[in-house]
């Protein structure tokens, strides 16, 4: 694809994605798309399958089936590190900061070569985006607050210069002030040209950042449309989202 002709095909296309934990069938056939430069909110109650969807896209589930194509490539059979190197950045909900490593070292683990067509990041640039991190470069991940860890995981994933971010419940358990910062960070990333799939239970947070919403329940997508449409659809909200 040449840079002159805009590519209208979605960056990420998920079709009939199924996944299992051991013998428990969790995803029953998820369909999703994320367009280039788009921010999509994956909404649903606790246990609806948001995390599982992201893990399955990343290749982190032992058993899965269905199609995942990213940037025109079928990635459904690739191991996680190959998927990551293609430009898919995963930010897990439980953060999974390397607690024994310093902030700088955590960033180093995420570092990948620059990728054409995606914003490229250096620790310096990330320290401007997340000023708190700059003050604690030498601190171990285990000695940071939850909010700081959340910023660090995001920054660490950005070091891989992804073109699409999978952000799993970034606002979960954070103080309102940090949630605010997080929303601003996501908007800044969108402005840089990044696409984002962000899972959320918090409707106002999703509304503040997302263009479109997909609502998942019991491992299937029950609603897909512009964020505005979801905000106006009381039935869907009452049925599938805890209000």
Partner 1 sequence: MSFYLVQFLSGLAAAATLFLVSSGLTIVFGVTRIVNFAHGSFYMLGAYLGWSLIERWGTTPLGFWGGVALASLAVGALGALMEVGLLRRLYRSPELFQLLATFGVVLVIQDAASYAWGSEDLLGRRAPGLKGSVDILDQPFPLYDLVLIALGPVVLGLLWLLFNRTRWGTLVRAATQDREMAAALGVDPAKLFTGVLFLGSALAGLGGALQVPREAVNLHMDMSIVVEAFVVVVVGGMGSLTGAFVASLLIGQLQAFGILVFPQITLVLVFLFMAVVLVIRPYGLLGRKEEAPPTAASPGPPLVLATGLVRWVPALLLLLLALVPLVAGDYALIVLTEVVILALMAASLHLLIGLGGLVSFGHAAYFGLGAYGSALLVKHLAAPMPLALAAAPVLAGVGALIAGWFCVRRSGLYFAMLTLAFAQIAWSVAFQWYGFTGGDNGILGVWPPDWAAGKAAYYLLTLALAGGTLFLLRRAAFAPFGYTLRAGRDSALRAEAVGIDVRRHQWYAFALAGSAAGLAGGLYAFSKGSVFPTLMAVPMSVDALVMVLMGGIQTLSGPVVGAALFHLLETEVMSLTEWWRLVLGLVIIVLVLAFPKGVAGFVRDLWMRRKEA
Ligand X SMILES: Nc1ncnc2c1ncn2[C@@H]1O[C@H](COP(=O)(O)OP(=O)(O)O)[C@@H](O)[C@H]1O
Report, in Å, the least distance between residue 26 CB and Mg ion. Answer: 11
* Burial of residue 94, with CB atoms counted within 10 A of its CB: 0-12 exposed, 13-18 middle, 19 or more buried: exposed
Nearer to ligand X, 27 or 103 (CB): 27
Nearer to partner 1, 13 or 106 (CB): 106
Report, in Å, the least distance between residue 24 CB and Mg ion. Answer: 15
Q: Which residues contact 2 (CB under 8 A, 6 or more apart)?
A: none
C-alpha dihedral, 49 to 145 to 103 to 201, nearest 10° = 20
Nearer to partner 1, 65 or 228 (CB): 65
Nearer to partner 1, 20 or 127 (CB): 20
44 interface partner picked from partner 1, Mg ion, ligand X, none, CB below 5 to 8 A per type: ligand X
Nearer to Mg ion, 59 or 87 (CB): 59
Strand 220-226 relative to strand 24-34, pairing: unpaired
> Which chain residues interact with ligand X by CB under 6 A?
21, 24, 26, 44, 46-52
> Which chain residues interact with partner 1 by CB under 8 A?
20, 23, 58, 60, 62-63, 65, 79-81, 84-85, 90, 92, 96, 98-101, 105-106, 108-110, 112, 156-157, 160
Q: Nearest 5 degrees, angle CA 226-CA 232-CA 238?
A: 105
146 interface partner picked from ligand X, Mg ion, partner 1, none, CB below 5 to 8 A per type: none
Report, in Å, the least distance between residue 174 CB and partner 1. Answer: 20
From residue 179, give the alpha-carbon distance in Å to each of 24, 26, 185, 231: 33, 29, 10, 20
> Which chain residues interact with Mg ion by CB under 5 A?
50-51, 93
- Within the chain, strands assigned E span 12-21, 24-34, 39-43, 63-70, 73-74, 88-91, 164-168, 195-200, 212-217, 220-226
């Amino acid at each position: 694809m040449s840079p002159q002709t805009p590519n209208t095909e979605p960056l990420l296309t998920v079709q009939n994605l199924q996944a299992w934990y051991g013998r428990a069938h969790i995803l029953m056939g998820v369909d999703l798309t994320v367009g280039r430069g788009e921010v999509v909110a994956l909404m649903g109650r606790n246990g609806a399958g948001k995390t599982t969807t992201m893990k399955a896209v990343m290749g982190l589930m032992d058993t899965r089936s269905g199609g995942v194509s990213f940037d025109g490539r079928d990635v459904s059979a690739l191991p996680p590190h190959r998927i990551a190197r293609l430009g898919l950045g995963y930010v897990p909900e439980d953060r999974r900061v390397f607690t024994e490593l310093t902030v700088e070292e955590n960033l180093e683990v995420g570092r990948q070569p620059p990728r054409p067509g995606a914003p490229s990041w250096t620790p310096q640039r990330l320290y401007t985006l997340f000023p708190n991190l700059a003050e604690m470069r030498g601190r171990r991940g285990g000695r940071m607050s939850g909010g700081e860890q959340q910023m660090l995981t995001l920054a660490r994933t950005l070091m891989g210069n992804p073109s699409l971010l999978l952000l799993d419940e970034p606002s979960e358990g954070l103080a309102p002030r940090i949630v605010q910062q997080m929303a601003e960070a996501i908007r800044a990333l969108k402005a840089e040209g990044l696409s984002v799939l962000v899972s959320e239970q918090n409707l106002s947070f999703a509304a503040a950042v997302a263009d479109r919403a997909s609502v998942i329940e019991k491992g299937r997508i029950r609603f897909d449309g512009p964020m505005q449409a979801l905000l106006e659809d009381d039935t869907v909200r009452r049925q599938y989202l805890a209000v």
